[in-house]
Chain A
Amino acid sequence: MPSDQYSFWQLVSLAVFLLFIVVYTLFGSRIQFHLIMSEVGSHLRMLSRMRQILLARVTEFIRKNAKDDTDVEGFVSTMTDYFVVEPVSLDPSGVVWKLEHLIRTAETHLENSVRGVLANPCEDLVKRATYMIEVARAFSAIHKIVNHFYILARKTNNLFIAMQLHFMLPLIAREANALFNAVQAFELRIPIGDGAGVLAVSHLVTRDAPYRTIARHTICYETSINGRPAFIIRPKGPEGNTGELGRAVEHVLAEIAPSAIITVDAAVKLEGEKTGSIAIGTGVAIGGVGVQRFRIEEIASKHHVPCYAIVIKMSSSEALLPMNEAIAEASRKAAAAVERLVSSLPVGEPVVVVGVGNSLGIGV
């Protein structure tokens, strides 16, 4: 009878409805946990695959240039696991010098290790191999951290650890993508976006201008900009260097009393800002851990020298990838901005201009 059928289906629908309520109430978070973990897991598998490809590429590059009897796989594996223990900062006084010492030790150790395995260890090759290992190390670190939290969330069945990892996935993917693609620039010695500041100050000197080395991997040109004597400091290229710009500025300030210190650097743009846009401000524009910036701020405040910063905006991934046309063009605009800024300073008084960044593929 129709009335009986109607009541039967009513019962079925009520049962399904109640079942859904019970399932979602009791197992909702468990279902969500499995959905999140499934997505994080698929990303982790991809990270793992890309890490293997990246390590294979770095290994192949070193093998091509290594001594015959070298265990290249073992060497790359050891170097990508290399770590630096941060100095104790319970008493923060003097921590910058300790940090500088540790960074210098790590850099020297890595370069010397690479030099030891290469058959023809010229400076350019050592730098390229070193940076490739650095990229592989950074990529491995991302993989290890994601893997750690993935396993931790699985072991503890903790939805909130899984959710935090899930929220970070787009940002992690961005960084990993940039690192994965950065290796081709270091392999072929193509200038990277981070070198925009170095390229900008290089446009301020003629190609035959003499220079002298004033700190490790750091050079200084003496020239003039619009009637003002100018000391142009930058890392030495075309091999990849970031130089010791702080020490170099200290060296120059021991000789002269400049009217200003101008730093030109690449800066990470905010979403919505245009790549290659230029901004001018006050302060010392140097990225990294801050040791070189600290040195310049110290000496500038001691001698009451004004500090100006000119930055070329780009995304964090563009800073690592081969330089694009917009950034190459922006470096010329930044050089013009330096000239305009120098024109506003007293005529005849010297000025220090510092090109900050990686000098990979940018010759002297």
Chain B
Amino acid sequence: MILSTWIIVAALVLLLLLLLLIKRESRYPIRLEKILVKSVIQCMNCGLKVVRNFENQDYVFKPCGRCPSCGGDRYIVAIYGQKIKSKSS
């Protein structure tokens, strides 16, 4: 009796596993990643760097006025994105 009970239990477990394998949601989700974009502004004269959030119409090598430190020309030298890690993802 013990052996046969185990066989039936094993069969039910296998059946349950089979049902669990039929997933409703995909294992490979496609989601919009939240990206924080930064613009790096640098003075061509003294090298002073300022990092700020990306603003609309920013582009790399866009002139950004005078340097507050030395009065040299400032440009955006890099724009890069950082992935924001959310708890849900």
Contact = CB atoms under 8 A, between A and B. Distances in A.
Contacts of B32: 180-181, 184
B14 to A, nearest CB: 8
Most buried by A among B27, B57, B80, B81: B81
A180 B28 CA distance: 14
A321 interface: yes
Nearest to A180: B30
B18 A43 contact: no
Contact of B4 (A9, A238, A364): A9
A45 B23 CA distance: 13
A325 B80 contact: yes
Interface range on chain B: under 10, 10 to 19, 20 to 34, or 35 or more? 35 or more
Interface stretch (A31-39, A263-271, A284-292): A31-39
Nearest to A45: B26
A39 B78 CA distance: 42
Contact of A322 (B24, B27, B37, B57): B37
B52 interface: no
B7 A13 contact: yes
A52 interface: no
A322 B81 CA distance: 6
Contacts of B28: 43, 169-170, 172-174
Contacts of B24: 42
Contacts of A180: 30-32
Contacts of A207: 44, 61, 63, 73, 75
Interface residues of A, number: 51
B23 A39 contact: yes
A17 B7 contact: yes
A172 B44 CA distance: 44
B47 to A, nearest CB: 13
Interface stretch (A62-70, A76-84, A187-195, A245-253): A187-195
Interface string A8-41: 0110110011001000000000010011001100
Given A35-B22, A328-B80, A362 B7 contact: no
Contacts of A12: 4, 8
Nearest to B7: A13
Contact of A363 (B5, B56, B59, B81): B59
A277 interface: no
A45 B29 CA distance: 11
Given A13-B7, A16-B8, A169-B28, 13 more contacts: A13-B8, A31-B18, A39-B27, A42-B26, A45-B26, A173-B29, A177-B30, A177-B31, A189-B58, A238-B61, A321-B35, A323-B80, A363-B60
29 contacts: A5-B1, A12-B8, A13-B7, A13-B8, A16-B8, A17-B7, A39-B23, A39-B26, A42-B23, A42-B25, A43-B27, A43-B28, A45-B26, A169-B26, A173-B28, A174-B28, A177-B31, A188-B37, A188-B56, A190-B54, A191-B60, A321-B33, A323-B80, A324-B82, A328-B78, A361-B58, A361-B60, A363-B59, A364-B61
Please list the 10 inter-chain residue pairs (A to B) with the smallest Cβ-Cβ separation, ordered nearest first. Answer: A173-B28, A322-B81, A238-B59, A13-B4, A9-B4, A363-B61, A43-B26, A13-B7, A328-B78, A328-B80
